[in-house]
Amino acid sequence: MSSTLTQPKIALRQPVSADGETMTAALIKTGSPAKARPAGPPALHLDGVSKTFIVGRKKKPVVAIADVSVRVERGEIYGVLGANGSGKSTLIRLVSTLLTLDQGRAEVFGHDVERDEMAVKRLINRVSADAAFFKKLSPYENLAFAARLYGLHTGQARGEAVRILARLGIAERRMGSPVEQMSRGMQQKVAIARALLTSPTLLLLDEPTTGLDPRSKLEVQAFVEDVRATHDATILLTTHDMAEADRLCDRIAILDQGRLVAEDTPDGLKAKVARETGLPATLDNVFLTYTGRSLDDDVEDAAPEDDE
């Protein structure tokens, strides 16, 4: 699907909010009265981050992330929207230390992701759309194995695993069944439970509700809200679901061909587009306005293994 809308000219390094304020200098806005930044370093700070993939001697390098700067405050749910191949998953992998930066700096609670890699890994956990399991093992056994890797006390881990799985709608009688016998949606719930078992301070959710039925999706969304409220967690969320982004995210960044083209609260972005284009105030229209494409369109020359 293509659009004839003219793409707004927006500064890449310092996206501007709907009221003209640069976002790195802005107060956190959550739909209620603005509040000052929390004390201490931000949960996530990206400064001029870039990543390029070399895909072959006869092909041009693929720029997956280009000069992206973001500041996510502690306690925020920060959403990243982008078409397939826009760089969302590459961004998550850079923050989670699975990829190295070509340029720029990335910090998690003040820890550099390259110089302080182990400290960063203790603060984060990641859920992707295609999570890996020991599929012959049960959900409980998968969580118990993860708990041992993180050095959690066995008794404490057992109780927490049962509580988290139950909160995600997995009945105790299903906790002993092999993961391979579960539906795609049920497996994704187990992946989220495994990530939450370690109580990460920064939770990286890479399209966590992809493939879930409507009821399961709502259960996961409610649990994400509960995690932020009860575990003092900060969440970086990539999603294709506009309603999900609108419901969960305090602020949203839009990536287009690896570049940050817009950043604001959902209401701020919708109001700005409605005011400037006359279109209805929806996130779908926000995305079309800033990228010229729908979320279902693929970006040409997408980065390797960055289909999402």
Residue 88 has pLDDT above 70, yes or no: yes
Q: Show the CA angle centred on residue 196, arms to residues 191 and 201, nearest 5°.
A: 135
Q: Is residue 235 over pLDDT 90?
A: yes
Distance from C-alpha of 176 to C-alpha of 161, rounded to nearest angstrom: 12
pLDDT at 112 > cutoff 60: yes
Buried b (16+ CB within 10 A) or exposed e, 231-267: eebbbbbbbbbbebbbebbbbbbbbbbbbbbbbbbbe
Looking at the predicted structure, is the pLDDT value of residue 196 above 60? yes
Q: Is the pLDDT of residue 177 over 80?
A: yes
Decide if pLDDT at 36 tops 80: no
**For residue 75, what pLDDT is reported?**
92
What share of the chain in percent tops pLDDT 70? 82
**How sure is the predictor about 297, in pLDDT bands with cuts at 50, 70 and 90?**
low
Mean pLDDT of the chain: 81
Q: Which is more confidently placed, 68 or 209?
A: 68
- Structural domain 23-131+200-291, CATH architecture: 3-Layer(aba) Sandwich (3.40)
Q: How far apart are the first and last CA of the chain?
A: 17
**Which pLDDT value is given to residue 293?**
66
| pLDDT classification of 3: cutoffs 50, 70, 90 | very low
Q: Report the predicted TM-score, pTM, of the whole model to 2 decimal places.
A: 0.80
Q: List the chain domain ranges.
A: 23-131+200-291
Q: What percent of the chain has pLDDT above 90?
A: 42
Whether 212 and 185 have beta carbons less than 8 Å apart is answered as: yes
Residue 194's pLDDT is 86
Q: What is the pLDDT of residue 299?
A: 52
pLDDT at 29 over 80: no
Residues 86, 255 contacting (CB under 8 angstroms): yes
Q: How confident is the model at residue 9 (pLDDT cuts 50, 70, 90)?
A: very low
Q: Which residue has the higher pLDDT, 303 or 134?
A: 134
Contact 36, 27 (CB under 8 A): yes
Residues 300-308: what's their mean pLDDT? 48
